[in-house]
Amino acid sequence: MIRSLLVALCFTLSFNLLTAGDKEVIDSLHLVLNNSTGINRVNVLNRLSELKIDSDLEQAGHLAQVAVDVANEEDYPEGKAIAYKNLAIFFAKKNNGDSSTFAYLSALNYYESTNKLNEIASIYNSLGITLMNAGRYSESLDYLVKGLVLRQQLGNNIKIGGSYCNMGIVMEYLHEPKQALGYYLKSYEYLKGGENQRYLSNVLMNIGVVNFTLGNYRKSNEFYSEALVIQIQNDDRYGLMNLYMNLGNLSMKTKDLSAAIVYHNMSLTIAKELGDRKSISGTYINLGDVYSNKMGMHEKGLEYLEKGLKIAKTVHNKEWENTAYRAIAETHYITKNFEKAYLLEKQYATLNDSLVKANAKLQIVKSKAVLQMQRDKLQENYKKLAESDKGQVTADNRLLIVVGCSGFLILVLLVLYLKEKRHL
């Protein structure tokens, strides 16, 4: 099965990268924390939690929870809201969607009573992403749209582009590539010419992925090539890894097998460098499929496929595992090892059934999301109609005023004329 990777989310959850300077700040803050009390203690705990979110996740979560408790004791709602935001990021990184959602909603409860629109928009966006990752696509779109509306009011093009990008990713998950493409192109319009080229390259890659899905291979290659230039310039290792895999998949589809091998090997090198076992697994399986089932190098292909299957099982990636079973079974059929092929086909069929059931659940969710979108569109139309009616009433009122004034002027002129006539 040819796979195209959806790139990482645009503007996800504001994670920090720890620098040498941050380490010095952390050491200083720990000294301050020992002697801090009250509101100041909450602020120090929150800052430490933010700084540690990437370097020591468990400690960051613990500090955020302590900050919530101290903020409660001190009746410090803003400090409590910041602590809940940090907790939400902690739970998101732990893949605990329900707890992350609760924490974001707790933070939102405070911020919606303020005029801090940037914070509200950011939480809406993060909530949308968290709900997307939990498969709650209809709710995800609701919050992403709310965030987009606020960002449009604030006029930050980069963040508006990020909202459109995330909405496109939701539509990708819902298997609605045309709608996804529409959102990605809007994102591209807001991001092009901006300072953050990394975000732009993510959107370009996503546009390439959707065009690949729609069978527009030339267009896909154009956008991949544009993204590649940016990612090489910025040395975006994760982005390059995904892009090389996508270019490999595109080359497989267009039957340029030599290029497919080169791209997949380049992706594999970076995946090993990053320690990304899911990507290592997928690249091994893709390479195995090319060597064995496209080029007839069965022994070499099976070696890659078996490696990929083993890693897919350890990282619990059912889709790659399923792909590996199918590719290995195909190899055994080609080499006339029918007994092995049959057994692997059974494993493939069993696993595929579970994935089909999961997809059926997705279709139910998708239907709900589509209904939600239709409802939102209907409400939007009602709003436009109401505005149109209001405009029409205003126009009618203006017409009545004009007619009334004209009639009054005519009456006045008639009276004056009659008076003048009497005097004559």
CB atoms within 10 A of CB 10: 28
Q: Is residue 272 part of a domain?
A: no
pLDDT, average across residues 145-158: 93
| CA separation for the pair 45, 40 (Å, rounded) | 9
CATH number at residue 92: 1.25.40
Chain center to CA of 55: 23
User: In this predicted structure, what is the pLDDT of residue 361?
Assistant: 46
pLDDT confidence tier of residue 188, bands split at 50, 70 and 90: very high
Q: Is residue 420 part of a domain?
A: no
User: In this predicted structure, what is the pLDDT of residue 102?
Assistant: 96
Contact (CB, 8 A) for 161 and 203: yes
Q: Is residue 179 part of a domain?
A: no
| CA separation for the pair 9, 242 (Å, rounded) | 13
Which residue type, as a one-letter code, is found at position 283? T
Q: Summarize pLDDT for 242-287 with one digit per residue, the tens.
A: 999 999 999 999 999 999 999 999 999 999 999 999 999 999 999 9
Q: Is residue 75 part of a domain?
A: yes
User: In this predicted structure, what is the pLDDT of residue 88?
Assistant: 95
Domain that holds residue 33: 1-114
| Percent of the chain at pLDDT exceeding 90 | 53
Q: Report the interhelical angle of 77-93 vs 117-133 (nearest 10°).
A: 30
Q: Is residue 100 part of a domain?
A: yes
What's the domain count of the chain? 1
User: In this predicted structure, what is the pLDDT of residue 280?
Assistant: 94
pLDDT confidence tier of residue 158, bands split at 50, 70 and 90: very high
Torsion of CA 289, 291, 294, 296, to 10 degrees: -130
Q: How far is CA 9 from CA 114, 187, 235, 239, 241, in A?
A: 28, 13, 18, 11, 15
pLDDT, average across residues 237-244: 93
What are the start-end ranges of the H helices in 19-56? 20-34, 38-52
Q: Is residue 153 part of a domain?
A: no
Contact (CB, 8 A) for 177 and 408: no
pLDDT confidence tier of residue 234, bands split at 50, 70 and 90: confident
Q: Summarize pLDDT for 342-362 with one digit per residue, the tens.
A: 665 666 566 555 544 444 444
Torsion of CA 276, 64, 14, 103, to 10 degrees: 100
Q: How far is CA 369 from CA 137, 168, 363, 403, in A?
A: 6, 13, 10, 50
Total-model pTM: 0.74
| CA separation for the pair 94, 130 (Å, rounded) | 11
User: In this predicted structure, what is the pLDDT of residue 55?
Assistant: 83
Which of these, 370, 4, 363, lies nearest to 215 by C-alpha position? 4
pLDDT, average across residues 371-391: 51
Q: Is residue 297 part of a domain?
A: no
Q: How far is CA 400 from CA 45, 386, 388, 405, in A?
A: 66, 21, 18, 8
pLDDT, average across residues 222-250: 93
Q: What is the mean pLDDT of the chain?
A: 81
Residue 79: pLDDT over 60: yes
Q: Which residues contact 209 (CB under 8 A, 6 or more apart)?
A: 4, 5, 6, 7, 172, 220, 246
Residue 8: pLDDT over 60: no
> Which tops the pLDDT comparison, 94 or 31?
94
Q: Summarize pLDDT for 129-147 with one digit per residue, the tens.
A: 999 999 899 899 999 999 9
Q: Is residue 62 part of a domain?
A: yes
Q: Summarize pLDDT for 80-94 with one digit per residue, the tens.
A: 999 999 999 999 999
Q: Which residues contact 272 (CB under 8 A, 6 or more apart)?
A: 280
User: In this predicted structure, what is the pLDDT of residue 368?
Assistant: 52
pLDDT, average across residues 71-83: 95
Q: What are the phi and psi torsion angles at 180 (to 5°)?
A: -60, -45
User: In this predicted structure, what is the pLDDT of residue 5?
Assistant: 52
pLDDT, average across residues 308-315: 90
